[in-house]
Amino acid sequence: MLPLDHIRVLDLSRLAPGPHCTMLLADMGADVIRIEEPGGGRRAVMERDAQDDGARQREERRAAYNALNRNKRSITLNLKHPDARQAFFDLVQSADVVVEGYRPGVVERLGVDYKTLAVINPRIICCSISGYGQEGPYRLLVGHDINYIALGGALGITGARDGAPAIPGNIIGDYGGGGMHAALAICIAIIARERTGRGQNIDLAMTDGVLTLMAAAISESYGGAEPVRRGGHRLTGLNPYYSVYRCKDGKYISVGANEVWFYENLCRALGGEQYAGDHGATGERREEVRAFLADRFNTRTRDDWFAYLKDKDVCAAPVYDVEELPDDPQIRARGMIVDVPHPTLGNVQQVGLSIKLSETPGAIRTLPAARGQHTRELLQEAGWDGDRIAALRAAGGTE
């Protein structure tokens, strides 16, 4: 038994946050159905026009490795076509959740908004994921992760004190503020539906999610302490014992000895007993500690230092590049990079499941489906016969 194997999700989303949300649900057993545009839409057409055979093979490989689309089925429907829209409505009748990531107002123009769908299925839960939300003066602004973390305050506190803000990748706004928050919101709405019998609409703004992730930093800044600043706070690089250091091989190691006892262990392990009492040092003395740590870490390779420090009760870990992840014994032991069989590519590496349940664990059941792979199957499940499916295909409502 999988914990969400009684839940059906219709996924209208395209870019990272929505597919990440529905991947999390699918990994836990939800029947996630990707509603895709026939032909893949304008972005896919431009990409295909620029591809040669080698590029198409690379695209096939990229698609197989795309964890965001695993454990899902795929149907193509042109929602601007009335018959295709009716097919979508027929799927809604047996669905629990609809996820979309359009700009605000698009689902209303397509006629697939929550008010419309709730008439068809009062138990439906609709989750709209957008950059700035469905309300407010910025609701129609275009954006990407970098913009959401900028407005939400996360970008401003990331990086060196005297440098520009450091871009952390799209893991904060798109995945943390967006995908994970959306999956949580959907699960909460499902629990609420058990009590009320009705679905509801979820307005999920990635910028709101970023602000939620910033709760501790915001609370500390507004609560009378010094505001959290880039490179000027205990968690953003102010102190030498919470930082990264370059090692002899050019790789980096992270140190997080915030507590006094961990700091003292670090100093002793590195032969710097004279600095063990300087946890609260400021000014020149603090910079002297920083210089000592930098010099010491530069005498050995990153992996040598980690092997030496990991049994010294010191908060330290290697800074990995992504290609190094599968070789780490802890990541392997936790099943966080796994091999999944593919019919032509052999084993495909995918990120594993971070949510580990003792009684009803999730699973990677299938690799990503080809666009429209389950169109006929899903329409038949919705009660369509072969003639009706063929007519829809002929009219351009599917492919």
Q: Per the structure block, which two tokens stand in for 117?
A: 């769908």
- C-alpha closest to that of 213 among 261, 256, 179: 179
How far apart CA 287 and CA 283 sit, in angstroms, is 7
Q: What is the full DSSP assignment across 205-268?
A: EHHHHHHHHTHHHHHHHHTTSPPP-TTSSTTTTSSTTEEEEE-TTS-EEEEE--SHHHHHHHHH
Which are the catalytic amino acids?
A: 144, 174
Pairing of strands 252-256, 316-318: antiparallel
CB 179 within 8 A of CB 16: yes
Which of 133-141's residues contact partners 24+ apart within 8 Å by CB, and which partners?
Answer: 133/104, 133/203, 133/204, 133/205, 133/207, 133/208, 134/104, 134/203, 134/205, 135/203, 138/207, 139/104, 140/103, 140/104, 140/105
Cα atoms in the 13 Å half-sphere on the side-chain side of 135? 2
**What's the chain's length in residues?**
399
How far apart CA 256 and CA 317 sit, in angstroms, is 9
Q: Per the structure block, which two tokens stand in for 292?
A: 């000592």
How far apart CA 73 and CA 32 sit, in angstroms, is 6
Give the C-alpha distances (Å, rounded to integers) separating 233 from 146, 225, 229, 238, 346: 22, 11, 6, 5, 47
CB 145 within 8 A of CB 174: yes
Q: Which residues have C-beta within 8 Å of that of residue 321, sequence separation ≥ 6?
A: none
Helical residues (DSSP H) of 3-81, grouped into ranges? 17-27, 41-49, 53-65
Residue showing tokens 């063990």:
276
